[in-house]
Structure 1
Amino acid sequence: MGKRLCIAVFLLAAAPVLLARGGDLDRAVREAEERTGGEVIAAETVTRGDGRQVHRLRVLIGEGRVRVLEIPARDDR
């Protein structure tokens, strides 16, 4: 359990840096928190193998569990 706690503390410390991205990512974070009732502890926009961009979010939900969500990113171009 100590290792999980260390990982959670690290992710919480890194969250402000990871979340300081575009407005679309901010919306994805809000949506994930609303859908899960949890707290987003890390978020990033990644390009999948098929070229699509998604927001990958790690959400801390009940009892210390972490759920990973992928939400399609909006193409602002």
Structure 2
Amino acid sequence: MTVWLPSLITKTPQEGYDLAVKLSRVAVKLTQPDAAIREKLRPEYAENFDALIASSQVVATNFATVAAANGYWKDTAS
């Protein structure tokens, strides 16, 4: 098994958000490993308001997890 997530620690909130998006995308790929099926289903949810909101909620949950792991970047005053 390839380790693709060695840590939740990121340097900045932007990197943390990018990681949250990646976590969300990887979850979809693990849930439905067949790329052809994912492509077939994409048009159905791409124009579905509820599906898009649900996707945003998953990213937000993942971002909250990453932010907590990073101490909310308190040490990186801008």
| TM-score, length basis structure 2 | 0.27
Higher strand share: 1
* Greater relative CO, 1 or 2 (CA 8 Å, sep 6+): 2
| TM-score, length basis structure 1 | 0.27
Higher helix share: 2
